[in-house]
Structure 1
């Protein structure tokens, strides 16, 4: 699928300025001269290599880091656009190759069966003609019985071959179905945490109805500082641990990694108060967990979540619900982080 950054809505300076502002807000980048310049380069050439690299890196809801803003332009100019998300996983390539092999093998088997069936039909017609002539020529001879036995044995052999080929084709088809089922699951699962990914979450959100369902967005506080201090491998392990903690705390509900350090939840068949309490319990479980470095058992302190939560409305789109929840998440960040803010949670602020 072609990845593309949307260009400014019009060619005026005001339109470009607004597009740059939206880009910086969506990526949670500070409005610094460096970031403005980067956004201008991306939006000014939406079909260019830098825009392609940004679109690839942010595919699935992942946000750019400040380090990537500083280095991505140089890497693109040097032809090094591998990045953290640009190269497709080898496992996916391996699956595609295996699927192609399975399909080719299945087609070959079916072609062989068709060929055998046609040949068998021709031989059967010829044998029928030979039997008729033999009986007409030698009505009292054993030649007719001998020919009949020969044809019967030949038919049995052909049937055995056809059955073996059909069994092989059935096995190939079953394996192909298993491969496709795994592919469908992989396409909806985050490779790092094993949780459903953004695609799976948005598909579920699109078909969710009722006023007893609530949408929450959680974001790891100061996650960039964790990556900067301990490195991305440690950051990945922290995200994996947080994902597992949230999934346990919200068992029976949908918990997904939405992208980067963001997690989303659909809390169904509970009241607003129960949903808020459940989210608070999950957030507290993340804060209470002890995260340590494998190398020296050093404690990684201060890992917390901010969260925004809303009740789904029957008359709004999924994107509107996400936007409302994201607004409450932003309010939680502005209020000091390490808290839940929602339209019904105790102590929450009103978002307009």
Structure 2
């Protein structure tokens, strides 16, 4: 058995880093799997994991289970997301169906609140009317005084019971409304997130561009495209292409931390950079491009080298008051210039 390296705290830190990299929650089964890898880095399992993740890929459920590990349901959304490629139309249909269901639930919730409020208003009016009649009885001769007090006590007791019932119904409706609000927030996030890579999508980009604080600029907009991506799909298949898309997306997010990185469509990514001049943005993106070109990917099923994956990037400065379509069109034309000049480069203007 290989000797363990580092102290206990170091082991915990490396296990946490592994779980985070692979999109796994810190559940006992996941922790046990990570522990065997971290504490025996030269073991058979650890070596297999290194081969499978070479090139920046995450482990899939099948990989973990084939190595003796166990994946808890729902605990590895990122790993599961790249396991199969779902057609965009299916994802769009699912979002539309979910949105329609949530709209119907919201309408029903509003109707329930309206009915409840109307019932409470009617009861309050009836209580006020009965109370006024009883008060009038109190002002009558002495015989009416006792009758009036008795009526007030009866009416007040009935109203208090109704108030308690209304409070219980209102509390229940409030809990349902909070649950529905959480569902709406989740649906809103899902509608603005790419199903494959987990990155924000085109809709999120458009909204962020429109609502950006212009005075917090300068802003630059970049459009990055994976070179010869169709060839990767044609030769190695869509599952490999999907993994490449996810790896490129992760690299862009990591190296453009704090900036908005979206999957704009297909193999194209858009990056909205804040606080950089055009020259600074071009230099930064060129270093990211070089980093991607230096990576060496492998096909996990066969261990066959995939070779280098390169990007072409067009980047432009966003002008004050400019709309997203104008800025994007300019960056997109610069991207095609980069492609025409030989790919694997950054064009800025």
Q: Could you say whether these structures have the same fold, taking a TM-score greater than 0.5 normalized by the shorter chain as the test?
A: yes
Distance 1:314 1:128 in 2: 66
The change in CA–CA distance for 1:218 and 1:140 in structure 2 (over 3 A counts) is closer
Q: Would you say 1:86 and 2:60 are equivalent positions?
A: no
Change (3 A) 1:283 1:195: same
> Match for residue 204 of structure 1?
208
Give distance in 2, aligned partners of 1:196 and 1:273: 26
Q: 1:275 to 1:129 in 2, by over 3 A?
A: same
Structure 1 stretches of 5 or more lacking a match?
1-82, 344-352
Alpha carbons 1:102, 1:172 under 8 Å: kept: no
Q: Distance in 1 between matches of 2:98 and 2:334?
A: 42
Higher mean displacement: 165-174 or 333-342: 165-174
How far residue 262 of structure 1 moved from its aligned partner, in angstroms, is: 0.5
Partner of 1:44: none
Identify the residue that residue 302 of structure 1 maps to in structure 2. Answer: 308
Work out which structure has the larger RCO, using CA pairs closer than 8 Å and 6 or more positions apart in sequence: 2
Is it true that 1:261 corresponds to 2:267 in the alignment?
Answer: yes
| Cα pair distance change 1:145/1:235, threshold 3 Å | same
1:23 aligned residue: none
Is the alpha carbon distance of 1:302 and 1:103 closer, same or farther for their aligned partners in structure 2, counting shifts above 3 Å? same
2:277 aligned residue? 271
1:291 aligned partner:
297
Asked if the contact 1:246/1:283 (under 8 Å) is kept, the reply is: no
CA distance in 1, matches of 2:135, 2:321: 77
**CA displacement 1:242-271 (0-9 Å, x = unmatched):** 111101100011111111101111222123
From 180, 186, 189, give the equivalent of 2:184. 180
In structure 1, the partner of 2:3 is none
Partner-residue secondary structure (3-state), 2:309 = coil
> Which moved further from structure 2: 134-143 or 242-251?
134-143
Contact persistence 2:297–2:308 (CA under 8 A): no
Counterpart position of 2:151: 147
The 4+ residue runs of structure 1 with deviation greater than 6 A are none
Judged with a 3 Å threshold, the aligned counterparts in structure 2 of structure 1 residues 271 and 141 are, in CA distance, closer, same or farther, namely closer
Of the structure 1 ranges 247-256 and 126-135, higher mean CA displacement relative to structure 2 is found in: 126-135
Per-residue deviation, 1:86: 3.1
SS at match of 2:88: coil
Q: Within 5 Å, give how 1:117-132 maps onto structure 2.
A: 117-130=121-134, 132=136
Unaligned runs of 5+ in 2: 1-85
1:233 corresponds, among 232, 239, 247, to 239
Quick check: 206-215 or 183-192, which moved more?
Answer: 206-215
- 2:170 aligned to which of 157, 166, 171: 166
CA deviations 1:151-206 (Å, max 9, x no partner) are 22112111112222332333333334333333333332222222221222233334
**Structure 1 vs Structure 2 CA RMSD:** 2.8
Q: State the match for 1:115 in structure 2.
A: 119
Higher deviation after alignment, 128-137 or 244-253: 128-137
Q: Tell me how far 1:135 sits from its aligned partner.
A: 6.1
